[in-house]
Chains A and B, each alone.
Chain A
Amino acid sequence: MAGIGFRLQKLLTGDDFTSSVKAFGFSALITSGPFIITVALVLFVQYVSSGNLTERGIEYLQALITYSYAFSLITVGFSYLVLTRYVADEYYRGHVTSFAAVFFSAYTIALSCWGIPVFLFFSGLSVGWGMKLCATVLYMSAVGMWLAMIFLSAAQNYWLVSRSFLIGLAVSLGASYGLGKAHGLEGYFAGFVAGQVVVLFCLVSAILKEFGYWEPRDHNWMGYYRAYPRLMGIGFFYNLGIWIDKILFWISPQGEWLDPRLRYSPIYDTPMFIAYLTILPALVYFFLLVETDFFFKYQAYYAALQQQEGLTVLERRRKAIVASLRMNLGRVLVVQGIVTLAALLAAPFLIRLAALSPIHLSVLRIGIYSAFMQVGCLICLNILLYFDHQKEALWVAATFCLLNAVFTEATLKLGLFAYGYGFGLASLVALVMALYFLNTRLERLHFWTFTRQPFPEPVLILDDEELDEAGESPAEPPVESPGGSGEPPSAAPSAA
């Protein structure tokens, strides 16, 4: 992802307003990530369908969409960062012709592992086979979307990504409205799913257009599971972590049955989704300003290292990284602080806008606080990954996931006033942990950068016969140091 921030800075250097707005939109798109898309879609459906469906129908529709997307995020979580790392590495190596094959490989494997369990889950629904199939198809297209976005972001082709989503959205809107009028709930759902399938097709055709289609499958990326098992863990725990509190609410007594297979929590779900959307400004701001400014400092450090500068220069560059991070995180804090404050003040209004009852107000307020912590945690997690501190990122993600489960379970016992604090507290602890790691690791940036370099592997020479005569060199020459051979070892971790 390191390259993405770099590209954004270029977009911003032409400082006319439109390009800047474009950059905002794009960067929001990349970074807000799959979860925000999910949340936005769920709220969108609720808004659009509110006039035409019964309340029960809306809830059913929402729950189906939420389940499909939650399954897709958690199951793709295993591969998400691993694949991102592979794609980023291959992209910088210039090997893009295999991308379509890698995408199909990853997609096939994800579906063959998870498709059947998910289908079995949905097949227990009390609705017709049309709905069951639609739910499974929605899951399948969501998985495809998340995977496809990895490839298109690597190529920095944000326009194709946004266009695909816009087209899909339009189709969803039109089809669900049209079909919904004629067939009610089933029509709505089928229309919505059709739109998402269109998104998937647009993204896939964008991949084929961008990289070509040269070979049927390429399973080489799976070697990265072995090479980066921690990325697998980070992706899984983080994605499970942001869902675990919702899942616990569903299965708790607070949850209600919509169907023999579907539970939802009317008190918790929608306010938390709305609250989550408030982190959008901070994320955009971070990836636009912080990442671009910070990224130059980051690059300057590794450039100094490769240009064989002394320790004083390296130390200066390290301090520049720290200063840049401090300043920019401070700015994000201020911006998000303002947004959060405004959201808190506007909470009653938001409740009315979303047609919720006043009882949701406290959950929404706590949700807004929690989202504030969550965005901090997410940002720090990202920075840790820039410096390739996978172990630390894994700790943060796993702690977040575990604490979210424990604390949410506790708040369920405490009662309504505490709802939402579990997610917030878990995010806060994870944030403090991430900040601690970030601080100590950056304090000793040189140590971590150098010490993690692997020792050179032996180069086996089959014929080592030496023609030395009596009295000539009996010794092997010292092994060539990779640092001195004019081609310094790549010390910069190519961040996922």
Chain B
Amino acid sequence: MTDVCLILEGTYPFVAGGVSTWIHQLITAMPDIRFSIMSVSPFPNPYREYKYKIPGNVFDIQDVYLHDAKTMGKRSDRKRVRRAVENVESVLDRLLDGQWDAFVDALPALRDEATRVSLADAFESEEAWDLLTRLYNRHAGEVSFLDYFWTFRSIFLPLANTMRVPVPPARLYHVVSTGYAGLIASIAKRTQDAGMLLTEHGVYTHERLLEISQATWIYTPQKERFRVQQELSYFKRVWLGFFDMMGRLTYDNADRIVTLYEGNKLKQIAAGADPGKITIIPNGIDVDHYRSIKRKPRSARRKAVGFIGRIVSIKDVKTFLHAAKIVLKTLPETEFFLLGPTNEEPDYYQECRELTRSIGVERVCRFLGKVDLKEWYAKLDVVVLTSLSEAQPYVILEANAVGIPAIATDVGACREMLEGVDEEDRVLGASGLLTGVSNSADTARAIVRVLTDPDLWRSMSEAGRTRAVESYDQTDLISKYLNIYEQMMR
């Protein structure tokens, strides 16, 4: 029995990334809490390796393989299979009517040793096949049966694998996404009678929506490809419905939901979460580290504007370059530094380089690639973000903590990071300016305003440094989690 069982899908400890890093920080910062981990991944991978050094307070790491069909198990007797199929069919019919709790009612029969069926029963029995064709006739109309079949398999194999998973006992189940992990957490909550906490950094249901609507691997009939599509193809709707269902199920079962910022909260509510359960805990940074950086401006006259991030299209670098061109009309001695890896979208990077030449800013806009940011935070006068989409960008936090005002598009959590989350926070004043998306004139205006008004600059710098300490200190935020853990552990 551990204190907290973390249920993770496609992240820690085998995949490096933002969420994984956050989880690692969380575990490391709570040496007194005993953790176990359920790690959900698609297939067993003999070549995988730990991307983090597993802290000593992690007692157990259990794997769940979604698409593993290696061990199909034995066929059960027909009566048992028939009963299981009846059970599943009634649940599916209720689910398709929008009754999310139907799933929970089905759980005991699907997990009980005495009644549950094997993968072989689910995918090789005639009873299951008849169920499949009944559902096809009832719900699918005349869509491609081949794709229907494979959609069925791709949906039900991971489901069957998650349904059968043994859940380690714990005092609290903390799941870091909805989806399959959310499903396991829901099962854990229902079977272990423990609390369930959900943290979502990105909103899983929303991300699947974007991903599936653009997916090319989901079959869309040829004739539909030629006209402007008003609605998604049958199979895309099935996939979306499936992820939407898993999302709702997780939101229903979670006792508390944590997300990073207001915008995500709204997406979660749209995806079916109860607003009353949602708390916002943003990502934090090591504030002391950034506050200790001593600013050494290059010169009072030649101001330095920084763009910090990967040179990729979602960051809309071109708007930044156009803005630079406009800024140079008023402040001809300004310099622009683009700091971040250029190799992720080489074509886009090339286009950006050509743009600097064609609008004549190549002398003052410098692409420096991946650099030591600590050194650069000391030199920059303002940091600009022109992203089309963001969650809760660290750049703003870091720049603000150093004392550099930030100019950012009004996406994701940028507004609350620059202007404050609530009344108490807003009193501190703004630590930067917000601009419209793909609006280079707006961005340029903001840059000029910050660079030409020393009083504004100073107040923003001050507000940023204070806000970073008050709202985004990693240590405080982790202790908020510790609080939640302590309240919820049974």
Contacts and interface: CB of A to CB of B under 8 A. Distances in A.
Interface of A: 305-306, 308-314, 444, 446-447, 450-451, 453, 455-456, 458, 460, 462, 464-485, 488-489, 491
Contacts of B394: 469-470
A483 B146 contact: yes
B207 A475 contact: yes
A390 to B, nearest CB: 16
Contact of A475 (B10, B67, B149, B154): B10
Interface string B3-15: 0000011110011
A310 B201 contact: no
A312, A446, A456, A468 interface centre (most CB from chain B within 10 Å): A468
Nearest to A455: B69
Given A309-B144, A474-B9, A484 B201 contact: no
A474 B10 contact: yes
B344 interface: yes
Contacts of A476: 9-10, 41-42
Contacts of A309: 144-145
Contact of A473 (B133, B202, B218): B202
Contact of A482 (B17, B148, B150): B150
Interface in B43-58: 43-48, 51
A4 B19 CA distance: 59
A224 to B, nearest CB: 23
B15 A483 contact: no
B17 A467 contact: yes
B177 A483 contact: no
B44 A458 contact: yes
A306 B219 CA distance: 12
Contact of B42 (A310, A446, A479): A479
B284 to A, nearest CB: 10
A149 B18 CA distance: 64
Contact of B218 (A455, A470, A484): A484
A444, A450, A473 interface centre (most CB from chain B within 10 Å): A473
Contact of A470 (B154, B157, B176, B283): B283
Given A310-B141, A460-B45, A470 B219 contact: no
B147 interface: yes
A393 to B, nearest CB: 19
Given A465-B15, A466-B15, A483-B146, A471 B201 contact: yes
B150 A474 contact: no
| 5 A-B pairs with least C-beta separation | A471-B391, A483-B150, A308-B144, A458-B43, A310-B142
A306 B19 CA distance: 41
Main secondary structure of the interface of A (DSSP, over half): loop
B126 A447 contact: yes
A306 B126 CA distance: 22
Contacts of B16: 465-466
B260 interface: yes
Contact of A446 (B124, B133, B201): B133
A474 B145 contact: no
A455 B67 contact: yes
A465 to B, nearest CB: 6
B123 interface: yes
A441 B211 CA distance: 40
B153 A455 contact: yes
B235 A484 contact: yes
B136 interface: yes
B143, B146, B283 interface centre (most CB from chain A within 10 Å): B146
Given A310-B141, A483-B219, A464 B146 contact: no
A460 to B, nearest CB: 6
Interface in B169-194: 176-177, 179, 181
B119 to A, nearest CB: 9
A86 to B, nearest CB: 26
Contact of B47 (A444, A460, A484): A460
Contacts of A479: 42-43, 66-67, 154
B219 A308 contact: yes
Nearest to A457: B43
A483 B238 CA distance: 15
B22 interface: yes
